[in-house]
Amino acid sequence: MPIDQRPIPRAGGWGRGVFLLAAALLIASAFHPYWRMRVSAPQYPKGLHLIIYVNRLEGDVREIDSLNHYIGMRALAHGAKVERAIAIPGLILAVLGLLLAAAVRRRWGRLGALPTLLLPPVFAADLLLWMRDYGLNLDPKAPLNRAVKPFVPKIVGEGTIAQFHSSAGFDLGFWLAAGAAGLVLAALWLTWARGGSSRRTMISAGVSLALILGGSEAWAKTLTVSASSAPTLAAALDAAEDGDTIVVEGGVHAGPVIVQRSVTLIGRHQPVIDGGGAGTVVELAAPKIRLSGFTIRRSGDLLAQGDTGILVRAPEAVVEDNQLDDVLFGISLRRAPGAVIRRNQLRSHRLAVARRGDLIKTWYSDDVTIADNRIDGGRDLVLWYSRRIRVLRNNVRRGRYGLHFMYCNDADVRQNRLEDNSVGVYLMYSRGLRLSDNRITRNRGPSGFGLGLKDMEDTRIDRNLIADNRVGVFLEHAAVQFTRNVIGANDIGLRLVPSGVASGFSGNSFMDNGEQVSVDGESDAALNRWDGNFWSDYRGFDADGDGIGDVPYRHLRLFERLADAHPALRLYAGSPAATAIDAAAALFPIFAPRPMLADLHPRMRPMPAAPAP
């Protein structure tokens, strides 16, 4: 019989689009497990896991084989060798068939979609056959041969054999493949129904997507924990699987808590996890854990031991809406890329600053977001060896370093408020950093820097308010562009050391600082670029009214120069004697020092301050 060569009636682009979507789902399925099983026994209270992809086995395969040996079951790797070997080439051919079905408008082209239709039932049937083969053909010489009769392991649901309990089910990869098959059915219905409506296609596609989402969610479960009834939080964590949700209803729960599965922990009515004053309270040791809505309190107080409220040791954690009280270190990320730390409140132990821990700390953790946290009374918010960090809208008060960077490239720091710390922000040994729209005020510790920069490259400081600090900005060996910042009411607006000679200052407002610019040693501030800044001590004029002074601003205050050479003279800063010395230098230029810097286009009006975060 000849193949039907008639063209298929047009049904818009929906049919082809659905085939292409099915191909995308099929490709995605190769990267996710198709099936998984959990086996628990008295010697393995946390369970053993077998995870099956289309082309490989993962999980606790060796341990499960060791247990199976006692009942006479063959090693898992001996089964389905051919299927695993041809799985990826088969998926590639199935995807090519879908592309053919999308491209060819003849009925025979739709035959390319048939492998996708067959994949889910063939996988399930093959898995069942292998399970039957393994369970019904036990080695009669096995140590426990008489204790266990031949059986058929379940591929879906729960089962018990002797002292072993198992639970099994299809996983996301299978449901993606099933969704692709559902989409193929929808596309075939559309095209072979001779022009069926796009509405029917959309309904069918929606059913297929619901199959995907419903199937993957069916594997996850929700466990509820309360302080007055079973299960306990520890028991719920032991019973949980990846993807499960644990809801904790109030109460006080004893720490330490170690989370070793990719679960969501949600606190309702602010449950408390109490560390009892020893060690770390909560440890997140699996990827993609979410911890939300808890009070974490009373860690240990040993700096050398790193006692922490929440320790994250795995990627993509989300720690949000928690309150941490009376902890040494607050939230510490150790090799935990992709984490999100947001809307938490953190308070340290009531110790001397030097004995406190860092309330937020990253260590080799790239692509982290730290946002909308309130941090009070810790040591530092410190970031080490971490790239592409985003620090947004945090409020940091009464610490040592409000924010401290070490070897962190390509960071984005915006709209933070850093007040009443010893040092507001100190940036070191990094490049590609952007610091903008922050308020850095009242930082008056022993060094008292509002913003310190050391060994920085390709850094932009833009639209920040830096006010009421002992030193507004400290610059050492840093190539930095300062634009549109307000640097005002500091004892010293900008302090330069000899290596601070490669930066640019444009559009900034230096307002009413006790000393606008201070230079240490033999540094030459003129080697930096100064253009278009506002200087509150500028005495020039603007005859043409363009907002730019008609004569350059030259920073040449004689008393400041004398005080730089003889620091004891700073005692007289602002006194009538200091004013008289500067007035004399202005009247008799022969006594005036060489200008420390010159701004050829000084602004007549200040720039607006950064908005409040």
Which ranges in 286-403 belong to alpha helices (H)? none
In this structure, are 174 and 236 located in the same domain? no
- pLDDT under 50: residue ranges of the chain: 1-12, 194-218
CATH number at residue 349: 2.160.20.10
Burial category of 352 from C-beta neighbours within 10 Å (exposed 0-12, middle 13-18, buried 19 and up): exposed
* Domain final residue pick, 204, 219, 234: 219
- Structural domain including 187 reads 14-219
Of 427, 425, 422, 390, the closest CA to residue 407 belongs to 427
* Domain final residue pick, 198, 219, 240: 219
Asked if the structure places residue 2 within a domain, the reply is no
In this structure, are 149 and 45 located in the same domain? yes
Asked if the structure places residue 380 within a domain, the reply is yes
In this structure, are 344 and 237 located in the same domain? yes
**How far is the C-alpha of 418 from the C-alpha of 439, rounded, in Å?**
6
In this structure, are 287 and 393 located in the same domain? yes
Strands 318-320 and 369-371: unpaired
pLDDT score recorded for residue 71: 75
In this structure, are 67 and 212 located in the same domain? yes
Asked if the structure places residue 188 within a domain, the reply is yes
In this structure, are 48 and 166 located in the same domain? yes
pLDDT score recorded for residue 446: 87
Asked if the structure places residue 59 within a domain, the reply is yes
Q: Residue by residue, what is the 3-state secondary structure of 381-445?
A: EEEECCCCCEEECCEEECCCEEEEEECCCCCEEECCEEECCCEEEEEEEEECCEEECCEEECCCC
254-260 CB contacts, 8 Å cutoff, 24+ apart: 255/279, 255/280, 255/281, 255/282, 256/280, 256/281, 256/282, 256/283, 257/233, 257/281, 257/282, 257/283, 258/282, 258/283, 258/285, 259/283, 259/284, 259/285, 259/286, 259/289, 259/291, 260/46, 260/285, 260/286
What single-letter DSSP state applies at residue 290?
E
Total number of domains constituting the chain:
3
In this structure, are 247 and 393 located in the same domain? yes
In this structure, are 359 and 241 located in the same domain? yes
Global pTM value:
0.67
In this structure, are 243 and 187 located in the same domain? no
Q: Tell me the pLDDT tens digit for each residue of 87-146.
A: 899 889 888 887 887 777 666 666 777 888 888 999 889 988 888 888 778 877 776 666
In this structure, are 194 and 103 located in the same domain? yes
* Domain final residue pick, 219, 244, 261: 219
Asked if the structure places residue 410 within a domain, the reply is no
Contact in structure between 60 and 77 (CB atoms under 8 Å): no
In this structure, are 246 and 333 located in the same domain? yes
In this structure, are 443 and 307 located in the same domain? no
Asked if the structure places residue 537 within a domain, the reply is yes
